[in-house]
Amino acid sequence: MNQATITADISPAQQVERLTRQLEEAQRNNAATRIQLEQALGRAEAVQRERDRAVSTIRKLHKETFFDLARRAEERDGESPLHTARIGAYSGLIAASLGCTATWCALLENAAQLHDIGKIGIHDSILSKTGPLTTEEWRLMREHPRIGAAIIGQSDEPLLQLAGEIAMTHHEHYNGAGYPLGLSGREIPLSGRIVGIADFFDALTHDRSYRKALPVDTVLSMIRERIGEQFDPHVVGAFLRVADQIKATRQRFVEQERLFQATAGWDGDWWMLA
């Protein structure tokens, strides 16, 4: 009986004793209830931690799948597996030179690596064609920005949202002559203007199946010649200010690639060597 009761047929001393017993019992019950509540709370917190861990693992796998897909897409187009990492590194350096925050530079460095993920939707007969593309093949090839944005742009993850923006706009030109939307000037998101230059520099300073790499300084001159046409003058300025760092980064990747090729029997993933 938990409720304290006082009856007239017992002495005051007995009543005090009875009330004391009832009070002690109530305190014991309260203590037991508190312990049960604390145990339940502990279990709920453990479940929550487990859930948070599972969600973060799924998010990580989700992102890794996209990065893997982007590398495969570039490889199908004859690019080195290091191409995506190089574009990310150059883009991060340009953004830092523009005075962007360290957080955004790091986000851009990752997101830029997914710029050509849409090539996964382009047929092998077009990607691996050694001769010039027909008009229809070019039309299909120029769909890769839209395909890429459709693949990754629906996410609520800031990294994937930025990656979707880059996928869509990295072939736009400052003068409006690019594709797929024909945006011009500041209509092109800064991310797309940065990655467009990084992609141009990287594409021309590395061998492709149909042509040899151009000397780095020749490519720098070509970038200067395209100021205000293909490229944003401010972004080119930022690129040129860190040109030495970009050249050094490129050289580091060249050495990593040599190491990669020298370890052809490597059974892990190439990026573990990087």
Shortest distance, position 56 Cβ to Fe ion, whole Å? 29
User: By beta-carbon distance, which residue lies closest to Fe ion?
Assistant: 116
Query: 95 or 167: whose CB is closer to Fe ion?
Result: 167
Query: 116 or 257: whose CB is closer to Fe ion?
Result: 116
Query: 107 or 122: whose CB is closer to Fe ion?
Result: 122
Shortest distance, position 85 Cβ to Fe ion, whole Å? 11
* Backbone φ, ψ for residue 231 (5° rounding): -120, 150
Is there a contact between 249 and 90 (Cβ–Cβ < 8 Å)? yes
The whole-angstrom separation of Cα 196 and Cα 206 is 16
The whole-angstrom separation of Cα 153 and Cα 242 is 30
Query: 204 or 227: whose CB is closer to Fe ion?
Result: 204
Shortest distance, position 170 Cβ to Fe ion, whole Å? 6
* Backbone φ, ψ for residue 208 (5° rounding): -125, 170
The whole-angstrom separation of Cα 191 and Cα 207 is 26
Is there a contact between 114 and 65 (Cβ–Cβ < 8 Å)? no
Q: 15: Cβ–Cβ under 8 A, 6 or more apart, which residues?
A: 6, 7
Query: 72 or 241: whose CB is closer to Fe ion?
Result: 72
Helix ranges restricted to H, 112-189: 124-127, 135-141, 144-152, 158-169
Query: 63 or 171: whose CB is closer to Fe ion?
Result: 171
Shortest distance, position 54 Cβ to Fe ion, whole Å? 33
Q: 7: Cβ–Cβ under 8 A, 6 or more apart, which residues?
A: 15
Shortest distance, position 113 Cβ to Fe ion, whole Å? 9
Residues near Fe ion (CB under 5 A) are 116
The whole-angstrom separation of Cα 33 and Cα 40 is 10
Query: 116 or 165: whose CB is closer to Fe ion?
Result: 116
Q: Which of 215, 199, 207, 273 is nearest to 247 (CA)?
A: 215
Residue 71: both structure tokens together: 């590398």
Residue 133 is classified by DSSP as P
Shortest distance, position 265 Cβ to Fe ion, whole Å? 28
Shortest distance, position 104 Cβ to Fe ion, whole Å? 21
